[in-house]
Structure formats: C-alpha cells, structure tokens
Amino acid sequence: MTLLVTGCAGFIGSNFVHTALAASDETLVNLDKLTYAGNLANLASFQQDPRHVFVQGDIGDRALVERLLSEHQPRAVLNFAAESHVDRSIHGPGDFIQTNVVGTFQLLEAVRGYWQTLAPVPREAFRFVHVSTDEVYGTLGPTDPPFAETKAYEPNSPYSASKAASDHLVRAWHHTYGLPVLTTNCSNNYGPYHFPEKLIPLVIHHALAGKPLPIYGDGQQVRDWLYVVDHCRAILRVLEAGRVGETYNIGGWNEKPNLEVVNTICQRLDAVRPRADGQSYTSQITFVKDRPGHDRRYAIDARKIERELGWKPLETFESGITKTIDWYLAHAQWVEDVTSGHYRQWVATQYG
C-alpha cells in the first residue's frame, strides 16, 4: 500500500512522514517543490529507507502528479503543500494564490482523473485528505466560543483567504464529482523542524543568538497551540476512519497569548541554557509595530474529532514546548543551515 504526500519537506509534512513511517510499513511517495521552507534535511533519516520515495516537484504540475499517481497507485493523497506564512502573504500574495488556489485545483484534477480509473474496490477505499488551517474562520472576540466545523468562513489575510479558497475547491470536488475528500483545519502547530520565521522557533533562535525577540503590538494575541506530532496522529486517524466529505477541526486545547508563550520559552532557556551575563532572556523582548489586519484570537473546538474518531492531544503546552526547545538545542546545525542570508534579510525587513 502507498500514500502520496505533498509538501513532505515542510514543517508539518515532514513530521507527518516521520509519524507515518513509525506507525506502519506503508510506502510514502513524497512530493515537494523545495521552496525556502522545504528542507530535505527534515527527511535525512529516511534517505536509505525504501519506504520513502522523494520526488521534487510542484502540485501545480498536473502532468507530474498524474505520472506519480499512475506509477505508484496510492490508496490516498494527503495534501500538506501550501504557502503558509501570513507575514509573507502580506508582502507577496501572488505566491499564495498560485500554490494554495491554482496548485490545489491542479492537484484535485489530477487526483480526480486517477480516482475515476480505479477498479470499484480501490476506488471506494480511496481518500483525498486536505490539510488546512483555523485561520479560514477569521478572528474571535475574548468571550466567543472556539471555532467549530460549522463556523462560517471569514478569512482576513491573503494567506487565510487562499486557504479558504482551497477548502472550497475541495468541498466542491466532493459534491460535484464525488471525490472522496476529508478536510482538516488545525490550530497553530509547533515542534521539531519548524522553519524559524514563525513565533516559537523564531524566539528560540533569536534568544540563543542574543537578538531582540520581536513581539507584535501588545503581545496579547491569543492562539491555540497544537504539538505537531499530535496533529500528525490526528491526520492518520482521519485518514483511517473519517467520514467522507466531512471536516475535522484539530486543536490542542491550549489557548495562550503570544507574550505568555515567549515568556515560557525564556524561562525554559533560563533554566537549561542560561545567558553568560546572568540576565533572563526576557530582557531581549522587544515590542514592534503590529502587522496589518492581525487576528486577535483563534481557538479550536476539537470535540468532534474526539467524539467521532477518539483522538485527543497527548501533549500539554508545557510538555510540548519543553520537547520543542530541547529539540532545537540538540539540532543547532539544522538551525544554522536554514537561517541563511536570505532568512536574515527577511527578518530585518519584517521586524526592522
């Protein structure tokens, strides 16, 4: 049996590869364009593993996807491929439309053509899993209930709008063509192999480098934090037993203001890697101008996936952030390799 995994060299995709290969002997055909956030070092431990077949390519290349489907005959396609950074979408929305909207369309069409050629039994068993985000739902007030699967879409950034569009395409290909799809909308992930442009890995990297820790606005933006391995376990469970055509929200039940997250990271680093001058890493916190249209609060109601599929997160925020910090401390070379001159230029542009 075989799975086709797109976006396999990115943060969540590579963690899924690690999780899936640890869970079974199934072959994974792994497709990734290898943009700035795609990193083959994330998959280095599988270079000699015959269950890991890597192909460099774009989900928007329909001919390539059709060839891979025909050659490997996967029982499912899991789509992690996406441009995913809100800040970058503000500066350059075109890449997000191209990958998240046009790319998803091309992928769906290639998959639909393949699925229609399958014999009845494998056709009935086939699944297309589309991995999306809670940001499609917009923002919440302080006392609003968390996002349920029935929440109306109200995306507020070019990134979230492009992901909302991709979700709608997936839904339409199910209702119009019968393609057996499953959609997941997750909260903020964190953990190993996270490119350090997002809050948690950026703060860890900057703290250790003695750089300012940039906090947007007042730092009271609230996010629901989900350890990435818990997310990957959830996706495997949705693939295994999710009801076709359904959406499953995946969250960590860990709402935290950004400033609290940064303080937690600093306290952990103070304990395990103290500064030479004896000061706390919190002294590096620097408040910067808030980004345009910054959503104030996200929160996921993950009761449906627990009720229907029996999944719930294993990590608390405290256990997950400890594992995450320890991983980055143990993988300093990985961090050094990904924080290139281009990365430093981006940080300087974004945070001044």
Q: Which residues are catalytic?
A: 134-135, 159
CA distance 113 to 232: 27
Q: Where is 123: in which H helix or E strand? A: helix 120-125
CA distance 288 to 223: 18
Whether the Cβ atoms of residue 9 and residue 80 lie closer than 8 Å to each other: no
Of 189, 327, 163, 160, nearest to 254 (Cα)? 189
User: Which residues have C-beta within 8 Å of that of residue 76, sequence separation ≥ 6?
Assistant: 3, 4, 126, 127, 128, 129, 239
CA distance 56 to 63: 13
Backbone angles phi, psi at 90, to 5 degrees: -70, -40
User: Any idea what the Cα angle at residue 88 is, between residues 85 and 90, rounded to 5°?
Assistant: 110
Using DSSP bridges, classify how beta strands 255-257 and 222-227 pair: parallel, antiparallel or unpaired.
antiparallel
Backbone angles phi, psi at 190, to 5 degrees: -150, 160
Find residue 116's DSSP bridge partners: none
The alpha helices in 254-340, defined as continuous H runs, are 258-272, 303-309, 317-330, 332-338
250 three-state secondary structure: strand
CA distance 295 to 292: 9
| The one-letter amino acid at 257 | P
CA distance 30 to 17: 8
Q: Where is 28: in which H helix or E strand? A: strand 27-32
